[in-house]
Structure 1
Amino acid sequence: MNLARGSSDDSGSLLWGLGAIALYALISYGLDYRARARRGSRHPAREALHDLKDREEPQSPRHRIVSRVIMIGGGVLTGLVAYTTSGTLRAVAAGLTAVVAVTAWAYYDHRTETRDSAG
């Protein structure tokens, strides 16, 4: 008995889920790289990689925790969408979920970074 795609014969579902999480991380890195390059950084690729690991502390601890929860939640949600859907819908739904999650994460970081640096 299968309960709402609880058990799947499609062995590629796990790979789709992991691929969606990897795509989410790549999109996040790309956005950070672009922001660093626009600010005139000498080494935007290296700084973007280090920024993903929280080398700098541009936010308060509370804002940083919320930011990481949004980031991880978006990655997990994107993976779940890719895992639970199939066919063409899988690529479209996972892509849209990743774009919305990364946009929400970037918006939150932008808003809190502006407030923290001004205050």
Structure 2
Amino acid sequence: MRMRYPGRRLFLFSAAGLAAAGVLGFAASARYCDRRVLARLHLLDRLDVAVADIAGAAEIGRSYRARVGDGTLLSELGARPALLEALEYTCPETRRALVRRQFREDFRTGDILVENRWVVSRSECIIAALRPPAA
């Protein structure tokens, strides 16, 4: 009579269970901070994480929007790679880091403006101008 060893079977089931737990954990974290394809304009709300960092955002946005117009705003947004990448993420911390990286890049390259007596990056102006005007 052949003897069976439960150790091998137990090891295989344990390994399969751990692998399944790892896959489920990865899927849960990916669901929280997943990348999504930019498909609709309602994703512009995802840039709101930066509005709190912009001093005088409402005034800056109003004056910049009046100066450049809506069509130009969207084309300028398209020329900012970190802002477009921030739109793809659902994780607020990731979006905030990407937006701040674009602000730093604007200052590094000298793409700054004076709006309403504030020295701001062009990306800050774009984000503030994309906010809906207060009624």
TM-score by length of 1: 0.36
**Which structure dedicates a bigger proportion of its chain to strand?**
2
Rg bigger for which structure? Answer: 2
**Which structure dedicates a bigger proportion of its chain to helix?**
1
